[in-house]
């Protein structure tokens, strides 16, 4: 039992102290980490997932570890590092995020004539995508693990199981939070590892926009779900689908924050100059043809055009 008992981070994050062992067990019981069976406390599935010291010591829990593979280049041909974390997620999540940030490609910027090295993808994006993968994975699938793959131009986070049936990839931004693991989701939010309901993806998308990165890519297959975040890429190096998705996510984010998507906001999103109005106009026309966005008001004067997601 005690191998699955929570490590220090749980009560440190809760800022809790105990006056007796009875208080300690009641605290864990109230967090749904313990159940009572014949007057004995036993760890719950939630306790094992979030607080186990080593998944390998529990049958059928071995694949709950998080594996981080870092490659040289843009493919899987050459592995630079291979790191696995087999502790419960409340224990290891910060370490996982820190390790990913160390492995990510870096950029150099100058501030006040001083050169600074920064990660190519902001930490908030990584933290939100990892937290979402943990919360939404299918824990009934125990033949594959949560896998993080880092390439020179992107990071891919793949978790077992696809989206639940009534959630679509196109509606992940501002979609009411739905998960097959509600107790786990509440626990991770309670400890501060996840955002409020439904806002984590929005926050990650917003950070990508702020840093001028390509749009996040979400892939939903029969037995896995994958989120892909890219390092910075110039507009001219993006293909049509990447450009369209960036405009679509921009329109979704603006819609849910009651901001308007306009020619000007598109120029700001892609760091276009003031003189590139026509370039933004052509891009908007292409995305309109793809039917991922539409005019908010067809009767508006051309100078007042603004755009909303197709589903709005």
Tally of domains in the chain: 3
What span, in angstroms and rounded, lies between the C-alpha atoms of 51 and 78?
A: 33
Same domain for 218 and 242? Answer: no
Does 113 have pLDDT greater than 60? no
Same domain for 222 and 83? Answer: yes
DSSP string computed for 131-149:
HHHHHHS-TT--SS-EEEE
Of the candidates 167, 173, 181, 166, the one whose C-alpha atom is nearest the C-alpha of residue 200 is 173
Same domain for 217 and 155? Answer: yes
Same domain for 106 and 45? Answer: no
- Mean pLDDT to the nearest integer, 78-94: 95
3-state secondary structure of 185: helix
- Please report which confidence band the pLDDT of residue 8 belongs to, taking 50, 70 and 90 as the band edges: very low
- pLDDT single digits (tens) 23-45: 778 888 888 889 988 888 888 99
Same domain for 136 and 179? Answer: yes
| Cα angle value 284/286/295 (rounded, 5°) | 50
- Please report which confidence band the pLDDT of residue 205 belongs to, taking 50, 70 and 90 as the band edges: very high
Same domain for 211 and 295? Answer: no
Q: Note whether residue 294 is domain-resident.
A: yes
Q: Note whether residue 2 is domain-resident.
A: no
What span, in angstroms and rounded, lies between the C-alpha atoms of 48 and 151?
A: 31
CATH value at residue 265: 1.10.10
- pLDDT single digits (tens) 174-198: 776 677 888 998 888 888 777 655 5
Does 4 have pLDDT greater than 50? no
Same domain for 44 and 96? Answer: no
Q: For the purposes of burial, counting CB atoms within 10 Å of the CB of 36, is it exposed (0-12), middle (13-18) or buried (19 or more)?
A: exposed
For β-strands 146-150 and 66-71, DSSP reports them as parallel
Provide the whole-model pTM.
Answer: 0.89
What number of other Cβ atoms are within 10 A of residue 61's Cβ?
A: 20
Residue pair 305/263 in contact by the 8 Å Cβ criterion = yes
Same domain for 77 and 194? Answer: yes
What span, in angstroms and rounded, lies between the C-alpha atoms of 185 and 129?
A: 14
What span, in angstroms and rounded, lies between the C-alpha atoms of 312 and 309?
A: 5
pLDDT at 110: 52
Q: Which domain, by its residues, includes 12?
A: 8-51
Residue carrying structure tokens 């933004």:
280
Domain boundary among 180, 210, 230: 230
pLDDT at 5: 41
């Amino acid at each position: 039992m005690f191998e699955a008992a929570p490590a220090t981070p749980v009560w440190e994050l809760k800022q809790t102290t105990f006056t007796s062992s009875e208080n300690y067990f009641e605290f864990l019981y109230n967090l749904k980490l313990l159940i009572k069976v014949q007057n004995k406390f036993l760890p719950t599935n939630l306790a094992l997932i979030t607080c186990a010291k080593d998944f390998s010591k529990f049958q059928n829990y071995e694949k709950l570890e998080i594996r981080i593979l870092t490659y040289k280049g843009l493919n899987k041909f050459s592995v630079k590092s291979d790191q696995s974390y087999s502790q419960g997620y409340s224990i290891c999540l910060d370490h996982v995020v820190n390790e990913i940030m160390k492995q990510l490609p870096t950029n150099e910027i100058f501030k006040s004539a001083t050169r600074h090295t920064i990660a190519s993808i902001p930490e908030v994006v990584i933290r939100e995508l990892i937290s979402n993968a943990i919360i939404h994975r299918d824990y009934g699938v125990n033949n594959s693990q949560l896998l993080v793959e880092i390439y020179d131009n992107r990071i891919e986070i793949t978790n077992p199981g696809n989206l639940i049936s009534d959630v679509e990839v196109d509606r992940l931004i501002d979609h009411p939070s739905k998960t097959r693991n509600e107790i786990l989701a509440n626990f991770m939010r309670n400890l501060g590892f996840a955002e409020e309901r439904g806002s984590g993806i929005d926050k990650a998308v917003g950070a990508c926009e702020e840093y001028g990165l390509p749009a996040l890519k979400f892939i939903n297959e029969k037995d896995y779900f994958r989120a892909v975040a890219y390092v910075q890429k110039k507009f001219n190096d993006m293909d049509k689908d990447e450009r369209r998705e960036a405009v679509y996510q921009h329109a979704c984010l603006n819609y849910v924050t009651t901001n308007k998507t306009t020619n000007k906001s598109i120029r700001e999103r892609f760091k276009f100059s003031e003189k590139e109005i026509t370039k933004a106009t052509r891009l908007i026309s292409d995305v309109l043809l793809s039917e991922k966005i539409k005019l908010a008001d067809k009767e508006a004067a051309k100078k007042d055009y603004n755009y909303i997601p197709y589903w709005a």
